Amino acid sequence: IPNNLFKACLSLLIPRLGPIYQAMYNLRIHPENWALNDTIILKKLGQANYRQPSAMQPVAV
């Protein structure tokens, strides 16, 4: 689902999903599969030296 769709639907999503996430936080319920992710490394544009770690950016997918 593209991020811009979430942004466009915030007024619909927050009243419905907000209480669910708040209850999960209060009850300390964290689904195991939410902790799993893949991380890819992207080059930052316009960097002089891509051998430097600071020229890269990790992105969790």
Q: Which pLDDT belongs to residue 1? A: 78
CA angle, residues 10, 14, 16, in degrees to nearest 5: 125
> pTM higher than 0.95 for the full model?
no
Q: Which pLDDT belongs to residue 8? A: 94
pLDDT in tens, 44-59: 999 999 999 999 999 9
pLDDT in tens, 7-36: 999 999 999 999 999 999 999 998 998 888
How far is Cα 40 from Cα 57, in angstroms, rounded to an integer?
8
pLDDT mean across residues, the chain: 92
How far is Cα 40 from Cα 23, in angstroms, rounded to an integer?
31
- The first and second tokens of residue 9, run together, are 């639907």
